[in-house]
Amino acid sequence: MIALSRAAARILAPLAALIAVALLAALPARAFETRAQAAWVYDMSTQTVLLDKNADVALPPASMSKLMTINMLFEALRDGRVTPETTFSVSSRAKAMGGSTMFLNETDRPTVMDLVRGMIINSGNDACVVVAEGLAGSEERFSQEMTERARALGMMNSTFANASGWPAEGHRMSMRDLGILAVRLISEFPEYYPIFAETEFNYKDRAPANANNRNPLLRIAASDWRADGLKTGHTSEAGYGLVGSAVMGERRVIFVITGLASDKDRAEESEAIVNWAFRQFTEKTIVKAGARVTDAPVWLGAADTVGLVPAEDVRLLVPAQVQDSVSAEVLFTGPVEAPITAGQQLGELIVHVPDLPDARIPLVAEADVARGGFSKRLTTAAQRLMQQYLSDAGSAEPSPAPAPAS
């Protein structure tokens, strides 16, 4: 059954049947026990966090932090500071970078799109230095700009010492911050995001051994979902990690993991997380936009009540097998004083799903309610005085009985 607080039960009665049909079942979704040192799993469609393990701990991000360099370059593209055809020079510092590279040299003039693919597909450390120097003049200055921009985007546990994720003191990101960054790249740059799903890039045929995208999910032939991003990372300090994204129907799941012991463990854990996220949870429309949830009493209005409705369809992510401890309540301060305008927010619908964050949905006025005329205000005042009189009379102490005559 739907459990309600005593205060909410009276006002939520009309909603009970609506939610009961959608939510009541038998068993809760099983929590995922990840082997990762830290993890964050997020359903982007419903903005629901499905898993949080040490998600706000600042850890070495390895090459996953290249996503911030890519974001900075995408912003430069959007702002018109560069175009896809803009070419950058290659410094001796960029050429000397070790680890994964595009094998650039000082005579090259790679285009912005060459460098984007080099960072995403080849995980090119040299490409990151070229971008940093091309946009900010130096990698040191670019790293400061990355940190400042991260703070502005709400990534409060990210500090950058370089553009590539090369091991460095103080170079840290949290899994939640990486997830926030992934959401941004997907939603803000749809024209460039498909590059994250490309599987091969070999600049000037120089690096066939480093031409393949390392994201293991891009090689999975799942029957009902497909992966399309984002970025792997590995150093001895960080272990193996992945910022991943996968789509099934209209749902998109983003996950971030780190601290796995091997490439094999990363691949297995990533696939298991995606399967769990898609198959243990389902998205449902709980209440349609404009469907009356309850009535709120109106003070000094032309009508005595006003309907409270959601302005948009209420779609929630719920465990595919849900126990009967789902609860819901409506909160508003009433009676609501007239005049009231249709669409004016008057309260919230709060739905509690086991093991998931509460869903808080704004409720708005269904219709206009004008202020009542003089006779209405006079009648309301009289009713209020009578209620107060009856309340005072009922609470008055009875007079003591007279003492018997002696």
pLDDT digits (tens, 9 = 90+) for 344-390: 999 999 988 777 778 889 999 999 999 876 565 556 555 666 666 67
Does position 2 have pLDDT exceeding 70, yes or no? Answer: no
Determine phi and psi for 232, rounding to 5 degrees: -90, 170
d(CA 47, CA 355): 15
Residues with a known catalytic role: 63, 66, 123
Q: What does the DSSP 8-state code read for residue 192?
A: T
Please give the single-letter amino acid code of residue 62: A
- H/E stretch holding 259: strand 251-260
Does position 89 have pLDDT exceeding 60, yes or no? Answer: yes
Helices 175-188 and 66-79: crossing angle, nearest 10°? 30
d(CA 2, CA 130): 58
Confidence of residue 28 (pLDDT cuts 50, 70, 90): very low
> Would you state the pLDDT for residue 25?
31
Half-sphere exposure of 367 (CA within 13 A, CB side): 13
d(CA 23, CA 17): 10
Write down the pTM of the prediction: 0.79
Q: Tens digit of pLDDT for each residue in 113-137?
A: 999 999 999 999 999 999 999 999 9
> Would you state the pLDDT for residue 389?
60
Confidence of residue 207 (pLDDT cuts 50, 70, 90): confident
> Would you state the pLDDT for residue 283?
84
d(CA 330, CA 361): 9
Sheet of 336-337: strand order equals: 327-332, 345-352, 359-365, 305-310, 294-299, 336-337
